[in-house]
Amino acid sequence: MEHSISFIDRKATASQQHALPAGAEWRVDSIAALFELPFNDLLFRAQQVHRANFDANTVQLSTLLSIKTGGCEEDCGYCPQSAHHDTGLKADKLMALDDVLAAAQAAKDHGATRFCMGAAWRSPKERHLEPVIEMVRGVKALGLETCVTLGMLEAEQAQRLADAGLDYYNHNLDSAPEFYDKIITTRTYQDRLDTLGHVRDAGLHVCCGGIVGMGESRLERAGLIAQLANLDPYPESVPINNLVQVEGTPLAGTEPLDPFEFVRTIAVARITMPKSMVRLSAGREQMDEALQSLCFLAGANSIFYGDRLLTTANPQAAKDRALLERLGMRSDA
């Protein structure tokens, strides 16, 4: 069923105006039509949806720690951690439990409410999983929400993580299916969907988004949003990454995405996934404060908070707090 993009009876609530009928799916052409709206109309619509589902002035703060960096078997064209690319990044072993817990406590002390741990693996082996489970238990005991991203999971692995108290599992789709083989050849799109299925079956919350600015078309960006929005249910957490170009990766030198197109992507994600936490993720270091503010207006209500992401810089915590204060916004802590 095609979703109308015209203005609807203003007597209806914002939730009623923009809800997709039960059982219907978002069509790629309908999402593409959202991208084509005049910028102000698109942001107005996204803000209506946002306010119908969230406090418009609250932002959720997550901190991301790379617990195992580099040496990944995958050939993702954007990733400096791939063993296929010469980026000068040194591969490290899995961090010690005490070091991870110290980082988690520091994140909590600075106001983060969710602690995300990422390991550069194609998929975790048994010798990897048990130490990560101990990290999950330890971070959970500090009173933080927990999230990990470890690559592909089998059903039994997802269940073990759930049994340990994990709250969220991150596994991004990265792109639309039609663009996928231009950036990755070592893992199929179905592999990603299978992992998401195992995560859902284990009762875990899903954190799943993508990367824009990799040379994809607007229609392919719409295709990515359609894949995310049509997951059943759609992800509770949707990180939107703007490509960080790293020398030595195949995507270094790609034409940067227009900043307003990035804001449009945030707005479309908000409209199509009204109850998700839409997170400003990689690439925020390259955004000035005005652009970040537009993203909040478009419906972003979560950020990665701290000095680094997995291997790239992130705006410092004090700078983030100052921006939120200037905007009259607050964290969910």
Sign of the torsion angle spanned by Cα atoms 32, 240, 299, 276: positive
- Please indicate whether residue 208 is annotated as part of the active site: no
Q: How confident is the model at residue 310 (pLDDT cuts 50, 70, 90)?
A: very low
Q: How confident is the model at residue 81 (pLDDT cuts 50, 70, 90)?
A: low
**Candidate list 147, 160, 270, 295, residue with the active-site label:** 147
The residues with which 241 forms a beta bridge, in sequence order, are 211
**Candidate list 76, 160, 264, 295, residue with the active-site label:** 76
pLDDT value for 7 = 30
DSSP H or E run through 61 = strand 58-68
- Picking from 214-218, 252-256, 307-311, which range would have the lowest pLDDT averaged per residue? 307-311
CB contact set of 328 (below 8 Å; sequence gap of 6+): 57
Whole-angstrom distance, CA of residue 204 vs CA of residue 170? 10
- Please indicate whether residue 192 is annotated as part of the active site: no
- Residue 268 pLDDT greater than 90, yes or no: yes
pLDDT value for 249 = 75
Compute, in degrees rounded to 10, the torsion defined by CA atoms 206, 244, 269, 237.
Answer: 20
Q: Which residue from 232, 326, 242 is spatially nearest to 283, judged by alpha carbons? A: 242
pLDDT value for 72 = 65
**Candidate list 187, 270, 279, 284, residue with the active-site label:** 279
pLDDT above 90: percentage of residues in the chain: 58
**Candidate list 114, 187, 207, 295, residue with the active-site label:** 207
pLDDT value for 82 = 52
pLDDT value for 73 = 65
For 194-213, what is each residue's pLDDT tens digit?
999 999 999 999 999 999 99
Whole-angstrom distance, CA of residue 267 vs CA of residue 146? 27
For 240-264, what is each residue's pLDDT tens digit?
999 876 676 766 677 889 999 999 9
Whole-angstrom distance, CA of residue 9 vs CA of residue 43? 18
- Please indicate whether residue 295 is annotated as part of the active site: no
**Candidate list 45, 114, 116, 221, residue with the active-site label:** 116
CB contact set of 325 (below 8 Å; sequence gap of 6+): none
Does the pTM exceed 0.85? yes
